Amino acid sequence: MKPWFAEGLKFGCTQCGDCCTGAPGNVWLAPGEEAALAARLDIGPERFRADYTRAVGERRSLLERANGDCILLSEERRCTVHDGKPRQCLAYPFWPRLVASREAWEAESRKCPGMDAGRRYTADEIERIADPATPRARLEALVRRPSA
């Protein structure tokens, strides 16, 4: 059966910061991301872990400020690690829960000006981006590919 997004979906990040704030949640860090983010911020991995993350069970998640902003969001509402952001952020808005139904996609698109704008991603690209097993290098190539 074809997915509801068989004709593809449009997305173009506007770097507005709206996906980096709001209700509390978790930005899960994949293996190796703590060290990579620490290096981007020019701090040691221990300091990054202590100052920027929290333990949630066996996993690590980025901290949030009291107002709901991601700890990596600047006062100008720009991601301070945009070019090396965590995998979860890189895959947005093609998260499994957001592409599960047209209704979920449309609800999220009311919060994100980049959804339904920008380049068209094919159904195959969307499925690979949403798949947590897709290697990071492949994910980056899919997400950063310019419009045709």
Rounded CA-CA distance 56/49 in Å is 13
Q: CA 63, 113, 122: angle at the middle one, nearest 5?
A: 95
Predicted confidence band of residue 106 (pLDDT cuts 50, 70, 90): very high
**Residue 12, CA distances (Å) to 45, 50, 51, 98, 118 in order:** 31, 33, 31, 16, 4
Look at residue 148 and tell me whether its pLDDT is greater than 60: no
Alpha carbon 40 to chain centroid distance?
A: 17
Q: CA 129, 142, 24: angle at the middle one, nearest 5?
A: 45
| Structure tokens belonging to residue 97 | 């829960």
The pLDDT, as a whole number, for residue 127 is 96
Return the residue matching tokens 């969307």: 126
Ordered by start, the domain boundaries in the chain are 9-144
The pLDDT, as a whole number, for residue 7 is 97
Q: Give the mean model confidence (pLDDT) for residues 16-27.
A: 89
CB 21 within 8 A of CB 70: yes
The pLDDT, as a whole number, for residue 59 is 95
> 36-75: per-residue pLDDT in tens?
999 999 999 999 999 999 999 999 999 999 999 999 999 9
> 116-147: per-residue pLDDT in tens?
999 999 999 999 999 988 988 899 999 887 65
Rounded CA-CA distance 17/60 in Å is 22
Q: Give the mean model confidence (pLDDT) for residues 84-108.
A: 95
Rounded CA-CA distance 31/9 in Å is 29
Q: For the whole model, what pTM was predicted? A: 0.89
